[in-house]
């Protein structure tokens, strides 16, 4: 059952990834791959939030949480595209943009994942928020 749910969630996540890329595919800031960057930043935040928030909702079974994290968010984000775009930037001798892309992706992803994690932690059982 969990494999099926992960697969279905993966189809949804991959479709959302494609839809996210369509409006941003023509927007390049001096060669900066904005669509992949935004997708990965959003996914980092959501996965950080899902990781801490969803397990607190006892009505959501663990296999559904796995499907949402691994299937949905895992297929929404795209490390492989990030890697290829970085190599393409380097091959085009756009080293400055490539370095900025890698650093912003790494530190931005970590920051947004941490932020999602912290926001997910704020929710306590019973519905009240705390820090």
Residues of each annotated binding site for Na(+): 74, 77
Cβ neighbours of residue 129 closer than 8 Å, sequence gap 6 or more? 122, 123
Residue ranges of the annotated binding site are 74, 77
| 115-129 per-residue burial string, b: 16 or more CB within 10 A, e: under 16 | ebbebbbebeeeeee
């Amino acid at each position: 059952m969990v494999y099926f749910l992960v697969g279905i969630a993966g189809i949804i996540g991959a479709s959302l990834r494609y839809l996210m890329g369509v409006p941003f595919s023509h927007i390049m800031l001096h060669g900066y791959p904005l669509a992949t960057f935004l997708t990965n930043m959003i996914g980092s935040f959501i996965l950080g939030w899902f990781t801490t928030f969803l397990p607190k909702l006892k009505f959501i079974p663990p296999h559904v949480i796995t499907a949402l994290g691994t299937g949905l968010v895992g297929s929404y984000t795209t490390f492989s595209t990030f890697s290829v775009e970085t190599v393409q930037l380097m091959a085009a001798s756009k080293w400055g943009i490539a370095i900025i892309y890698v650093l912003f992706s790494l530190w931005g992803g970590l920051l947004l994942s941490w932020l999602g994690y912290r926001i997910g932690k704020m929710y306590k059982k019973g519905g009240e928020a705390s820090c």
